[in-house]
């Protein structure tokens, strides 16, 4: 039997309730919600933490790197001048190369904010062994974008081309210009919780 995996899905802030689940062979076998200051019964050890995409900036790092160390150094340069915090107060992370060109996703998150999330996990006796942004792990087919409304949060996922998460009230105004920056890289737009008439974009590919 394959080992189980514990996943924590974060709320909008570190003190918001966390949704947790335990997966066995990719199937959710048990799940629940743990509130701030509490520890979920039976949860402890390593976990995977999924943060809202608005906690970090996500960009495509196109510079080839021979190692993860080189990639993180390039990521620091990629975000230079675009962060509200100093470089020393920022944590940089890079993904695996998405194609033969070496391009990969890079993320930047404020160190104090990341520390707050780690402290929240510690309250539940869990230690993240991997941290992901929700918009970066949503499965997306090549050439397509997914726009997913989850209540007051909307995810925009474009696979190796990046993505972001914003308040749903802001999505109609921001989605179109952001997709326009991708040019012809997106041919199909899948909407979940949204309808084409609610969003503004120059595309006939929405489904």
90-94 vs 104-110, strand pairing mode: antiparallel
Give the separation between CA 194 and CA 168, rounded to whole angstroms. 10
Residue matched to tokens 């890289």: 185
Q: What is the pLDDT along the chain (207 residues), one digit of tens a residue?
A: 457 888 999 999 999 998 989 888 878 888 888 887 777 777 778 899 999 999 999 998 887 767 777 888 888 888 888 777 788 899 999 888 766 677 889 999 999 999 999 999 888 888 999 999 999 999 899 889 999 999 899 999 998 888 999 999 999 988 888 888 887 888 899 999 999 888 865 444 556
pLDDT at 119: 93
pLDDT at 52: 94
pLDDT at 84: 76
Give the separation between CA 171 and CA 191, rounded to whole angstroms. 12
Closest CA to 95 of 162, 26, 155: 162
Name the phi and psi angles at 18, rounded to 5. Answer: -105, 135
Facing residues of 155 across strands?
148, 165
Q: Is 94 exposed, middle or buried (0-12, 13-18, 19+ CB in 10 A)?
A: buried
């Amino acid at each position: 039997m394959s080992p189980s995996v514990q996943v924590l899905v974060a709320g909008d802030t570190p003190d918001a309730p966390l949704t947790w689940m335990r997966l066995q062979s990719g199937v959710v076998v048990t799940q629940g919600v743990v509130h701030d200051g509490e520890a979920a019964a039976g949860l402890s050890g390593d976990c995977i933490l999924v943060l809202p995409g608005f906690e970090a900036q996500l960009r495509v790092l196109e510079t080839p790197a021979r190692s993860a160390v080189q990639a993180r150094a390039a990521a620091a340069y990629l975000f230079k001048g675009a962060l509200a915090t100093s470089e020393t107060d920022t944590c940089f992370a890079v993904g695996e190369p998405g194609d033969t060109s070496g391009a990969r996703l890079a993320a930047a998150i404020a160190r104090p904010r990341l520390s707050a999330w780690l402290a929240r996990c510690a309250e539940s006796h869990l230690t993240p062994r991997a941290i992901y942004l929700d918009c970066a792990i949503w499965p997306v087919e090549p050439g397509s974008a997914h726009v997913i409304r989850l209540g007051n949060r909307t995810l925009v996922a474009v696979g190796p081309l990046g993505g972001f998460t914003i308040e749903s009230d802001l999505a109609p105004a921001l989605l179109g210009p952001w997709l326009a920056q991708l040019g012809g890289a997106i041919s199909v737009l899948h909407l979940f919780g949204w309808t084409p008439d609610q969003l503004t974009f120059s595309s006939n590919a929405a489904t």
